[in-house]
Chains A and B, each alone.
Chain A
Amino acid sequence: MFRFIFNRILQSVVVIFIVVTITFFMVRLAPGDPFSSERRIPDYIQQRILEHYGLDRPAVEQYWRYLQGAAPKRFRPDKLFTEDPLLNAFGIDLGPSYTSARTVNQIIAETFPVSFELGAWALLIAILFGVSAGMTASVFRNTALDYVPMSVAMAGICLPTFVMGPILALIFGVWLGWFNVSGWFVPADRVLPAVTLGLVYAAVIARITRGGMLEILSQDFIRTAQAKGVPYGKIIFKHTLRGGLLPVVTYMGPALAGVISGSFVVETIFQIPGLGRQFVQSAFNRDYFLVLGTVSVYAVLITLANLTVDIVQVILNPRLRFED
């Protein structure tokens, strides 16, 4: 088990390194540079700026210096909740942002918690609604309690967040006046964006849960349990749930990636100061270090999520446990 986790962490490190490398050279392949949208400036000033940021050096040298800065150098958990946790706790310096006065570290420290909170609420909604709807549908298969949630789920899958978001804002923000239409100030501001982001995944999870549960319910060992006199509720919760939720766990990796990348749409709709917006803007501005920084954060998050999924799967499915 420990060997398995160690191997997975090693793989994750390699993946993140590859992602950073590819991103580094890809953004430089894009036409233009961070300053191409600025007003014309004299060449010698332009030269000074490029020198200041080291952009006049060969790409490989820039790459080497970036890696040196970005590599974690220490681990101080007590410094996690300081102003620049990346630098203070891990010794990671993701460089300056060309388009703002702050460093990439500071931008991430400011915006990441917002995106993280939004994503966490969205995933919570997705799992709560999805799993309960899917379980209800599978237990009451081919009745109204199956058809209604599953039709709603199908609609939920088909509606993209940029349609769902404005509709929810219109109904609950404008017409009913229950929530603010945009912003991220009071706790109630979390509701609409989290629901918008979570519903799509709730729909997918509902369908996966239903499928997984039905698959297990049709297995021979459920009949064995019935023959033993196990009551129906116990058959569902003790004998079926574990295996039935395995596909959902598998889906959580991609779901987390989706919640993260989907969050920039939602952040834009609801004017939320999150990392997703920084990510999109940095790409437009060719803010090299900010692009790299946000991509790295996402890469670390997604690999962490997948690592967790793998471990949870092994815990849930004993048949995987002893394979080396």
Chain B
Amino acid sequence: MPPLLEVRDLTTYFHTRNGVVRAVDGVSFSLNRGETLGIVGESGSGKSVTCYSMLGLIPMPPGRIEKGSAVFDGATDLLDCPPKVLQSIRGKRISMIFQDPMTSLNPYLRVSTQIMEPLFLHEKGIGKKEALERAIQSLREVGITEPERRVHFYPHEFSGGMRQRVMIAMAMITHPELLIADEPSTALDVTVQAQILELIKERQRANNSAVILITHDLGVVAGMCDRINVMYAGKIVESGTADDIFKRAAHPYTIALKRSIPSLGTKGKPLYTIPGMPPDLSQLIPGDAFALRKGIRSGGKYDHTPPPMVQVSDTHWVRDSDCELPSLEEVLDEC
């Protein structure tokens, strides 16, 4: 059986006035049915653009998908198919939830209208009554009390966490085979974050959907994902199972990310941060992008040639690097 999604060499550039921003540069991964993939990286590492590219959500211009393929279910290349076909997949077989539930729901339309919309679009001939029942059922499944009454509310009558539940209900109403969650918990209270992630997991099990979870929080992916891709400067730098990433991380960037998870340090100890800033992607980077980061020492092996991906084990791939992380004391000195 072919994988549900097979992405090969996905490359998305933004052609701006200040030059070409290489937001996603040759990303490849695959995803099986029911599997959960985490994509981790800093802001601007290209993790969201990767997923937006697949669904045709990149504003074009300035964005352009330069090359690559994203074969869905062994049949359709999402990057190269008629708009009508892509439209029939979006919201039906692939759904998406976004970071900020406060702005991701249309404030001018009732929740009922918005939740039922995918049904009317993708399940032709569905009656109004049946659609409303499905919407209520969907809200009930994401734990919204009194869904019969609240389905007619406007988004502003819900709290942030509740709105994200509405988003999930809306995304799952068509029982998609793939759910893309773009930082679904980032904008929420810490107490609500865990609930929302738990809810996504629960809905995933109920529908046997695959999930791509985009986040900058390694702690979030740890408990949820079967596989994890770590991205840096538009490229995947390390890819492996949760165990590979958490127990056998090989790329210095992954190690740095792990070290900066606050809860893993001892109390009273200063927090580790990755020094410097991610590189400016509008400049062509011929070699190892991480080596350019301020405070990172590199042996100069990949100054001019791109570092290759190296297979560590059956499941674990890492981009070669000769960078060395600064110690905590050095980071503190820097501050």
With A220-B100, A220-B103, A221-B103 known to touch, is A228 a contact of B108 (CB < 8 Å)?
no
Q: Do the beta carbons of A230 and B91 come within 8 Å of each other? A: yes
Partner of B122, one of A221, A229, A243: A229
Q: Closest approach, in angstroms, between the C-beta of A182 and any C-beta of chain B?
A: 46
Question: A239 contacts the other chain (Cβ, under 8 Å)?
Answer: yes
Interface-located stretch among A94-102, A271-279, A283-291, A314-322: A314-322
**In this assembly, does A80 line the interface, its C-beta being within 8 Å of a C-beta of chain B?**
no
- Given the interface pairs A223-B57, A224-B98, A319-B156, the reply to whether A229 lies near B107 with Cβ below 8 Å is no
CA A319 – CA B89 in complex, angstroms?
32
Q: Known: A226-B57, A229-B87, A243-B107. Is A220-B98 also a contact (CB below 8 A)?
A: yes
Residues on A with C-beta less than 8 A from B92 are 229
Mask: chain B, 88-125; 1 = CB below 8 Å from A; 0 = not = 11111001101010011111111000000110011000
Please tell me which one of the listed residues A223, A228, A238, A321 contacts residue B118 in the complex, with CB atoms under 8 A apart: A228
Among candidates B90, B105, B106, B156, residue contacting A227 with C-beta atoms closer than 8 Å:
B90
Query: Once the chains are docked, how many angstroms separate the CA of A317 from the CA of B155?
Result: 12
* Closest residue on chain B to residue A316 by CB atoms: B108
Q: Mark B112-146, 1 if CB is under 8 A from A, else 0.
A: 00000110011000000000000000000000000
Chain A to chain B contacts (Cβ below 8 Å), 13 pairs = A221-B106, A223-B104, A224-B106, A225-B106, A227-B90, A227-B95, A227-B98, A228-B118, A229-B90, A231-B87, A243-B107, A243-B108, A319-B154
CB neighbours (8 Å) of B122 from chain A are 229
Q: Given A226-B57, A229-B90, verify A220-B108 contact (CB < 8 Å).
A: no
B55 within 8 A of A: yes
A37 near B: Cβ within 8 Å?
no
A219 within 8 A of B: yes
Interface residue range, chain B: 20 to 34
User: Which B57-112 residues have C-beta < 8 A from chain A?
Assistant: 57, 87-92, 95-96, 98, 100, 103-110
- Asked if B39 is an interface residue, CB under 8 A from chain A, the answer is no
**Which residues between 236 and 274 of chain A lie within 8 Å of chain B, taking CB atoms?**
238-239, 242-243
Contact B103 A318 (CB under 8 A): no
Residues of A within 8 A of B154 (CB): 318-319, 321
Q: In angstroms, how far is the closest chain A Cβ from the Cβ of B73?
A: 16
Known: A220-B100, A224-B98, A319-B154. A229 touches B121 (CB 8 A): yes
Inter-chain pairs besides A221-B106, A227-B55, 16 sampled, C-beta below 8 Å: A221-B104, A224-B104, A226-B55, A226-B57, A226-B90, A227-B57, A227-B91, A227-B96, A227-B98, A228-B91, A229-B91, A229-B118, A231-B87, A242-B109, A317-B108, A321-B154
A229 and B105 contact, Cβ closer than 8 Å, known pairs A223-B98, A224-B98, A319-B154: no
With both beta carbons as reference points, the residue of chain B lying nearest to A243 in the complex is identified as: B108
- Residue with the highest number of chain B CB atoms closer than 10 Å, among A221, A226, A227, A243: A227
- Residues from chain A with Cβ under 8 Å of B105 in the complex: 221, 224
**Interface residue count for A (Cβ, 8 Å)?**
22
Within 8 A of B (CB), among A199-240: 219-221, 223-231, 238-239
Q: Which residue of A lies closest to B157 (CB)?
A: A322
- Seen from chain A, the residues whose Cβ lies within 8 Å of a Cβ on chain B are 219-221, 223-231, 238-239, 242-243, 316-319, 321-322
Q: Nearest-CB distance from A196 to chain B (Å)?
A: 35
- How far, in angstroms, from A224 to B101 measured CA to CA in the complex? 10
What's the least CB distance linking A113 to chain B, in Å?
37
Q: Does the CB pair B90–A318 fall under 8 Å?
A: no
Distance from A316 Cβ to chain B, minimum over Cβ atoms (Å):
7
In the complex, A230→B174 CA distance in Å?
Answer: 14
**Which residues of chain B are near A225, meaning CB under 8 Å?**
106, 117
Residues of chain B within 8 A (CB-CB) of A230 are: 91, 117, 121
Min CB–CB distance B113 → chain A (angstroms) = 8
Contact A221–B117 (Cβ < 8 Å): no
Return chain A residues, CB-CB under 8 Å to B109.
238-239, 242
B248 to chain A: closest CB distance in Å?
35
Residues from chain A with Cβ under 8 Å of B89 in the complex: 229
Q: How far is the CB of A167 from chain B (nearest CB, A)?
A: 39
A304 to B: closest C-beta gap in Å: 26
User: Quick check: is B170 within 8 A (CB to CB) of the other chain?
Assistant: yes
Distance A36 CA – B157 CA, assembled complex (angstroms): 65
Least CB distance from A219 to B in Å reads 6
**Residues of chain A lying within 8 A (CB to CB) of residue B104:** 220-221, 223-224
Residues of A with C-beta under 8 A to B110: 318
- Residues of chain A within 8 A (CB-CB) of B57 are 223, 226-227
A223 vs B55: C-alpha distance in the bound complex, in angstroms?
Answer: 11
Query: Most chain-A CB neighbours within 10 Å: which of B91, B96, B103, B106?
Result: B106
Nearest chain B CB to A130's CB is how many angstroms away?
21
The CB with the most chain B CB atoms within 10 A, among A220, A221, A225, A226, is that of A221
Specify which chain A residues have a CB less than 8 angstroms from the CB of B157 in the assembled complex.
Answer: 322
Instruction: Return the chain A residue nearest B94 by Cβ.
Output: A227
Given contacts A220-B103, A229-B89, A318-B154, contact A242 B108 (CB under 8 A): yes
Decide if B90 touches A228 in the complex (CB within 8 Å). yes
Report the nearest A residue to B96, measured CB to CB. A227
A72 to chain B, nearest CB (A): 38
Asked if A229 and B106 make an inter-chain contact with CB atoms under 8 angstroms apart, the answer reads no
Nearest CB in chain A to that of B113: its residue: A238
- Tell which of B87, B88, B170 has the most Cβ of chain A within 10 Å: B87
Question: What's the minimum C-beta distance from A218 to chain B, rounded to whole angstroms?
Answer: 9
> In whole angstroms, what is the CA distance A131 to B131 when docked?
33
Closest Cβ–Cβ distance, residue A244 to chain B (whole Å): 10
User: What are the 4 tightest A-B residue pairs by CB atom distance, in nearest-first order?
Assistant: A229-B91, A228-B91, A229-B90, A220-B103
How far is A225 from B107 in the complex, measured between Cα atoms in Å?
A: 12
Taking the closest CB of chain B, its distance from the CB of A179, in whole angstroms, is 42
